[in-house]
Amino acid sequence: MMTQAQAHIRVRDLTLRYGEKLIQQNLNFDVNNNDIFIIMGGSGCGKSTLLKHMIGLYQPAEGQIWVNNDSLWQVSESKRQRMMQHFGVSYQAGALVSSLTLAENVGMPLELYTKLSPKEVAELASLKLSMVGLAGFEAYYPAEISGGMLKRAALARAIALDPEILFFDEPSAGLDPLSARLLDDLILELSDSMKSTIVMVTHELASIFSIGNNSVFLDTETQTMLATGNPNLLLTDCENPKVQQFLRRGEVMNA
Ligand SMILES: Nc1ncnc2c1ncn2[C@@H]1O[C@H](COP(=O)(O)OP(=O)(O)OP(=O)(O)O)[C@@H](O)[C@H]1O
């Protein structure tokens, strides 16, 4: 039997393809319990693709994604479905259903995956909304609230089932810097209060440095990872020029 370390998610020798088209190869990294793990890299390098593989949406061309002691694609279909129920996901385009209230949107996963009564679903949805600062907005429709509030409502839906792992794709995309900052604070709070592991795709350097404690850097050109670790340490210690350029937003470094 393989001896497994303590990491929450272990990515091993992962190759990602769409059909014949290679996106990334030889990915090896660990996501530890309670990490806020950032998937970073230039536009089109395959960040969302990696996230979609990590949540079990696509099967990797090669390699394994271990979650605790199970490899997502070496277990039965029903086991994988059960594993995926411990994942909370919020996509960039993870728009809420416009014809449903916020409480109904947040309650949807509870209705689908639990046997709770309608009253219990409503109460839990209300609790989740309060956790993201939206107490009192249960009966609002998505069109009636701001962009920042929409992102928070999407987080409330992602945490509805108390997931072990939260996956976010560009959670603050399209927000002004202040709202993006507030969303980062909220993600940090959720990470503390829920003790869940968070994996997120983001371009936002501010988010990368302020809330990320671990990361992987994907490169488009070589189609593989160039670095993994705490972004703040990568900034000071990583000698790869592409990683430096990305983390310093293209600033020329003086020796
Ligand atoms: N379903 C798909 N079928 C085929 N190719 C795809 C599919 N989805 C994405 N791609 C391609 O895979 C590559 C990586 O896309 P992906 O969206 O993962 O990159 P990304 O790093 O998240 O990009 P961005 O930062 O611009 O959002 C791109 O060349 C894209 O065109």
pLDDT per residue as tens digits for the range 208-233? 999 999 999 999 999 999 999 999 99
In the reported structure, the alpha carbon of residue 118 is separated from the centroid of ligand 1 by a whole-number distance in angstroms of 39
Mean pLDDT value across the chain: 92
Based on the fold, state whether residues 37 and 157 are members of the same structural domain.
no
In the reported structure, the alpha carbon of residue 111 is separated from the centroid of ligand 1 by a whole-number distance in angstroms of 32
Based on the fold, state whether residues 44 and 169 are members of the same structural domain.
yes
Q: State if residue 47 touches ligand 1 by the CB under 6 angstroms criterion.
A: yes
Based on the fold, state whether residues 58 and 111 are members of the same structural domain.
no
Which tokens go with 97? 């259903």
In the reported structure, the alpha carbon of residue 21 is separated from the centroid of ligand 1 by a whole-number distance in angstroms of 11
Is residue 255 a part of any domain in this protein? no
Tens of pLDDT along 73-127? 999 999 999 999 899 988 765 678 999 999 999 999 999 889 999 999 999 999 9
Index of the ligand 1 atom closest to the CA of residue 203: 25
Quickly state the pLDDT bin for 203 (edges 50, 70, 90). confident
In the reported structure, the alpha carbon of residue 175 is separated from the centroid of ligand 1 by a whole-number distance in angstroms of 22
Index of the ligand 1 atom closest to the CA of residue 52: 18
Is residue 224 a part of any domain in this protein? yes
Residues 6 and 68: beta-carbon distance below 8 Å = no
Is residue 182 a part of any domain in this protein? no
Is residue 35 a part of any domain in this protein? yes
Side-chain-facing half-sphere of 201: CA atoms under 13 Å: 24
φ/ψ of 31, rounded to 5, equals -115, 120
Is residue 62 a part of any domain in this protein? yes
Q: Give the residue numbers spanning the domain of 103.
A: 94-162
Is residue 168 a part of any domain in this protein? yes
φ/ψ of 59, rounded to 5, equals -90, 130
Based on the fold, state whether residues 151 and 126 are members of the same structural domain.
yes
The verdict on ipTM greater than 0.95 is yes
Q: Which of 119, 140, 162 is the last residue of a domain?
A: 162
For residues 138 and 100, give the distance between their C-alpha atoms in angstroms, rounded to a whole number: 10
Index of the ligand 1 atom closest to the CA of residue 170: 27
How many domains are there within the chain? 2
For residues 55 and 36, give the distance between their C-alpha atoms in angstroms, rounded to a whole number: 16
Is residue 217 a part of any domain in this protein? yes
φ/ψ of 190, rounded to 5, equals -65, -40
